[in-house]
Amino acid sequence: MRGVAVIASPHRPAVLRGYRRLLVPIAANEESERAVDLACRLAADSHASIIALAVVEIPALLPLDAHMDDAENEARRLLERVGATGHAYGVKVSPKLVRARDVGGAIVASAASTGVELIVIGAPRRRLRSSSVVVFGGTVEHVLRNASCRVMLIATEFQAEAA
């Protein structure tokens, strides 16, 4: 493979630079919008496709088929916006709506089942007031620890959080 850079790590498969399939978990926040924008730019540069994933989290006390109309409608609106953003970049976006008990687990499972090479996830970062430790939510931690592909984390400025 002459002239092609290969990225490898001990726990992740080697991939050619220039991804073909990206997964972007979406939520109603600024970080998610930034992740979608960056994923679209990456996909446009390498003629890749994007899977936009909206996860409707079902509380443990409810059955998985419980009516979550408001959450599903909001997820569909978000998926439509991502599709419009992808269209503006000339990128194919495949929307995917999933119902799950755990958002992080659903993201990891979707990435594995669709064979994506990169997850682009947006997340707020916080600095604990009592220390200089930077923390992300449990969803991001789960994805970073368990994804079988590379993960690109898009974060905004620090937000203070009570200790």
CATH T-level fold of 19-161 = Rossmann fold (3.40.50)
Q: How far apart, in whole angstroms, are the C-alpha atoms of residue 92 and residue 82?
A: 10
Domain locations along the chain = 19-161
Kindly report the pTM of this predicted structure.
0.81
Contact 128, 161 (CB under 8 A): yes
> pLDDT, tens digit, for every residue of 54-99?
999 999 999 888 899 999 999 999 999 999 999 999 999 999 999 9
User: Amino acid identity, residue 99?
Assistant: R
pLDDT, tens digit, 9 for 90 and up, residues 15-57: 445 789 999 999 999 999 999 999 999 999 889 999 999 999 9
Residues 154, 120: Cα–Cα separation, whole Å: 7
